């Protein structure tokens, strides 16, 4: 999570457009006149014109809720939010129960919900009513190393982290597959299931795609599982984001490899410094040699991928799809092109990183595939073209293919050539290739979502406090509030190599003293958009991730806690639907097919402003979800439903 500061008064290209703006509406008109908005002037959903709220009222009708500073989940009148699956809960309703002092063993944790609930998807079970029963795949992004153990970080270096603590931390990452059921009163619960399982940092995993020539065909584990995606053959895509934190070394003579330098691991590793109780990373390398960067056989190039999991087959082996590139993956938004090729959109969640697209070589034909599970799509995500986006100032854009010999990317001349690329190195040194290709550095690309009918693609750019050189797609210097960009592929074909784009929404307060930092949302305002997902009706659900260090501070005081909003793509109207407890992020969204049940994740409730929990007072910031007797705050999946049984948003 990035810390944030108040916006600097730095001149920028957009400033000239909006310097005279004195109201939110005049700001919208000013931005609508820019080339970025004009580029989509023929498309439905362009902002800027005066529009009635009729479309929005048809799309969603709930009454928006005000900002909140309470330590609970708040939803609109007529809705209820119920806790379903918390960190430490048994995956099958029968495994070891959570101990509120966090004294569960590593073996217990391997059968319990992991920490840091993030992206998720709901899957139907053949032969079952999917509106009453199904499988929920839930990501576990990271561990709070203080809350995870009764004694917090003890012992500190130079004493090594104990083996049992390393094992428990590793077991807290990964993915849960749980079976859930709705009772006659409408409430959901986790039930015993032969399909329930945990996939952790130690689970056997297969590696596929071009990178196998460099990293081999197998490894163990998936970690820092951020957002997610799904395939039309009903498999789950979990995305490895901040994997660099699991690697390090105590060897002061260590020198990073070319690939590690290209990714940035040379900024981590042995350069970690002990700052009071702020122990760097997870310290797994102190007990597990494969996480020690000084070891020639370390696993650092075997992480940072999209991992495919078959939720219906508990015996299946997860697969790392290296053709989709190696970077800090946020989510993987998959669609099928008119000709049957599979397209996956992805963002790299770090400041000044890029937006990517993978186009498969093979085609998906649902009528020719009758076998359920990962075998259906096996190979489709292993062969194809990987692209990175360039957003031009005139509102057009290009997809730049990442391949040796194209777009300035040098071809590897010899085996020992550390500057050139072959197919395997495109998939391991993806960031370096994207930079060489002159892609557009973006303000932390987070989730990507595709409109269910128009095929417009939306990406959330959560913030970038370090931006100084602005551009049309990232027009704010010191962008602490974030924004959302959308584009439409030429000929409405996701395999196209060119597109038109515009800024959809800016985060921020519409009354900010500086017009350049005002929101253009018509309705409830927000900051730091992160989770982004369309439901089948066309509602764009926006989830926020403001840092705990800025919540309630100047510039953010009127925004309240992190939230979830519904947005109308055709008008820019936003309504606040949910607010979370203290210190949390709102993330992850899934629905049952009838749209009467929504699943949302509450991540890291109780996170303090300095991101460091207090082992002596674990509930100092938040007591959610279990109250004062719960022992410590716990990330959790909540179920949201209407009390009258209606569809979500109505």
Residue 460 burial (CB count, 10 A)? 31
pLDDT at 50: 39
Query: Scanning the structure block, which residue is given the tokens 């004694």?
Result: 151
Q: How far apart are CA 63 and CA 60, in angstroms?
A: 9
- Asked if 413 and 420 count as a contact pair (C-beta separation under 8 A), the reply is yes
432 pLDDT more than 50: yes
State the pLDDT confidence band at 266, using cuts at 50, 70 and 90: low
State the pLDDT confidence band at 1, using cuts at 50, 70 and 90: very low
**3-state DSSP call for residue 492?**
helix
- Asked if 320 and 306 count as a contact pair (C-beta separation under 8 A), the reply is yes
Q: How far apart are CA 69 and CA 76, in angstroms?
A: 15
18 pLDDT more than 70: no
Which residues touch 156 (CB under 8 Å, ≥6 apart)? 274, 277, 279
For 213-223, what is the mean pLDDT?
97
DSSP 152-189: TTPSPTTSPPPHHHHHHHHHHSEEEEEEEEE-TTS-EE
Q: How far apart are CA 604 and CA 606, in angstroms?
A: 6
Q: How far apart are CA 354 and CA 331, in angstroms?
A: 13
State the pLDDT confidence band at 34, using cuts at 50, 70 and 90: very low
For the stretch 30-46, what's the b/e string if a residue is b when 16 or more beta carbons lie within 10 angstroms of its beta carbon? bbbebebbbbbeebebb
Residues in a beta bridge with 292: 248
pLDDT at 20: 28
**3-state DSSP call for residue 194?**
coil
The domain segmentation of the chain, as residue ranges, is 1-83+445-650
31 pLDDT more than 60: no
Residues in a beta bridge with 357: 345, 387
pLDDT in tens, 60-96: 999 999 999 999 999 999 999 999 999 999 999 888 9
309 pLDDT more than 80: yes
Tell which residue, 79, 50, 51, 82, has the closest CA to residue 63: 79
pLDDT at 169: 98
Burial class, 494, CB count within 10 angstroms (exposed 0-12 / middle 13-18 / buried 19+): buried
24 pLDDT more than 60: no
484 pLDDT more than 80: yes
Q: How far apart are CA 242 and CA 274, in angstroms?
A: 20
Residues in a beta bridge with 237: 229, 308
Say which DSSP state 647 is in: -
pLDDT at 12: 33
For 469-480, what is the mean pLDDT?
97
- Asked if 579 and 67 count as a contact pair (C-beta separation under 8 A), the reply is yes
Tell me the percentage of the chain whose pLDDT exceeds 90: 79
Q: How far apart are CA 566 and CA 65, in angstroms?
A: 11
222 pLDDT more than 80: yes
| Residue 640 vs residues 74, 131, 646: alpha-carbon distances, Å | 10, 14, 11
pLDDT at 156: 84
pLDDT at 251: 80
**3-state DSSP call for residue 379?**
coil
pLDDT at 45: 37
- Asked if 131 and 109 count as a contact pair (C-beta separation under 8 A), the reply is no
Say which DSSP state 538 is in: S
Q: What are the tokens at 28?
A: 């919208």
State the pLDDT confidence band at 375, using cuts at 50, 70 and 90: low
Q: What are the tokens at 46?
A: 């362009």
pLDDT at 54: 59
360 pLDDT more than 70: yes
| Residue 25 vs residues 21, 485, 518, 531: alpha-carbon distances, Å | 9, 19, 11, 26
DSSP 236-281: EEEEE-SGGGG-B-S-TT----HHHHHHTGGGSGGG---BTTB--S
Query: Scanning the structure block, which residue is given the tokens 């010999």?
Result: 405
pLDDT at 281: 77
pLDDT in tens, 601-627: 999 999 999 888 988 999 999 999 999
Tell which residue, 232, 233, 239, 235, has the closest CA to residue 139: 239
469 pLDDT more than 70: yes
For 309-319, what is the mean pLDDT?
96
State the pLDDT confidence band at 254, using cuts at 50, 70 and 90: confident
Mean pLDDT score of the chain, rounded to an integer?
89
pLDDT in tens, 137-159: 999 999 999 999 999 989 988 88
Q: What are the tokens at 335?
A: 């669609």
Say which DSSP state 592 is in: -
Residue scoring higher pLDDT (615 or 183): 183
9 pLDDT more than 80: no
Residue scoring higher pLDDT (228 or 16): 228
**3-state DSSP call for residue 135?**
strand
pTM for the whole structure: 0.92
């Amino acid at each position: 999570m990035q810390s944030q500061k108040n916006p600097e008064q730095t001149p920028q290209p957009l400033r000239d457009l909006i310097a005279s703006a004195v109201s939110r509406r005049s700001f919208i008109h000013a931005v609508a006149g820019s080339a970025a908005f004009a580029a989509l002037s023929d498309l439905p959903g362009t902002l800027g014109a005066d529009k009635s709220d009729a479309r929005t009222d048809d799309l969603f009708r709930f009454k928006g809720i005000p900002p909140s500073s309470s330590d609970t989940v708040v939803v609109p009148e007529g809705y209820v939010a119920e806790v379903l699956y918390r960190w430490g809960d048994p995956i099958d309703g029968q495994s070891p129960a959570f101990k509120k002092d966090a004294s569960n063993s590593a073996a217990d944790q391997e059968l319990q919900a992991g920490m840091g609930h993030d992206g998720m998807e709901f899957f139907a079970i053949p032969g079952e009513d999917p509106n009453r029963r199904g499988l929920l795949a839930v990501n576990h992004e990271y561990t709070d190393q203080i809350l995870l153990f009764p004694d917090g970080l003890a012992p500190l270096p130079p004493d090594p982290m104990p083996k049992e603590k390393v094992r428990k931390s590793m077991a807290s990452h990964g993915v849960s597959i749980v079976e859930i059921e709705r009772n006659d009163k409408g409430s959901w619960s986790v039930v015993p299931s032969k399909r329930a399982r945990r996939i952790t940092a130690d689970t056997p995993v297969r590696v596929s795609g071009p990178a196998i020539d460099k990293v081999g065909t197998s490894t163990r584990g998936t970690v820092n599982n951020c957002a997610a995606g799904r395939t039309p053959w009903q498999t789950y895509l979990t995305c490895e984001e901040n994997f660099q934190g699991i690697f390090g070394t105590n060897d002061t003579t260590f020198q990073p490899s070319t690939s590690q330098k290209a990714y940035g691991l040379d900024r981590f590793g042995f350069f970690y410094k002990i700052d009071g109780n702020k122990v760097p990373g997870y310290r797994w390398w102190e007990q597990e040699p494969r996480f020690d960067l000084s070891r020639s056989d370390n696993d650092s190039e075997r992480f940072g991928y999209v991992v495919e999991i078959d939720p219906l087959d508990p015996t299946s082996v997860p697969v790392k799809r290296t053709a989709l590139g190696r970077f800090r993956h946020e989510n993987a938004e998959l669609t099928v092109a008119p000709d049957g090729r599979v397209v996956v959109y992805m963002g790299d969640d770090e400041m000044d990183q890029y937006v990517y697209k993978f186009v498969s070589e093979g085609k998906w034909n649902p009528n020719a595939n009758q076998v359920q599970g990962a075998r259906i799509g096996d190979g489709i995500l292993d062969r194809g073209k990987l692209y990175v986006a360039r957003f031009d100032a005139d509102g057009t854009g290009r997809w730049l293919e990442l391949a040796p010999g194209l777009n300035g990317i040098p071809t590897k001349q010899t085996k020992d050539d550390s500057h050139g690329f072959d197919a395997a190195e495109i998939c391991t040194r993806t960031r370096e290739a994207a930079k060489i290709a002159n892609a557009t550095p973006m303000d932390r690309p987070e989730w990507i979502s595709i409109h269910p009918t128009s095929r417009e693609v939306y990406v959330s750019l959560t913030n970038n406090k370090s931006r100084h050189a602005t551009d049309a797609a990232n027009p704010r210097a010191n962008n602490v509030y974030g924004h959302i960009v959308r584009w439409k592929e030429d000929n409405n074909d996701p395999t196209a190599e060119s597109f038109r784009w515009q800024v959809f929404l800016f985060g921020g307060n519409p009354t900010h003293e500086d017009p350049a930092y005002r929101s253009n949302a018509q309705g409830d305002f927000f900051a730091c958009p992160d989770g982004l997902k369309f439901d089948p009706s066309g509602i764009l659900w926006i989830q926020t991730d403001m840092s705990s260090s800025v919540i309630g501070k100047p510039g953010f005081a009127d925004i309240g806690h992190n939230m979830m909003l519904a947005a109308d793509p055709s008008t820019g109207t936003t309504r606040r639907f949910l607010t979370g407890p203290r210190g949390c992020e709102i993330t992850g969204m899934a629905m049952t097919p009838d749209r009467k049940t929504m699943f949302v994740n509450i991540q890291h409730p109780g996170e303090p402003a300095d991101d460091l929990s207090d082992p002596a007072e674990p509930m100092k910031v938040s007591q959610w979800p279990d109250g004062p007797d719960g022992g410590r705050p716990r990330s959790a999946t909540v179920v949201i439903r209407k009390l009258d049984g209606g569809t979500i948003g109505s």
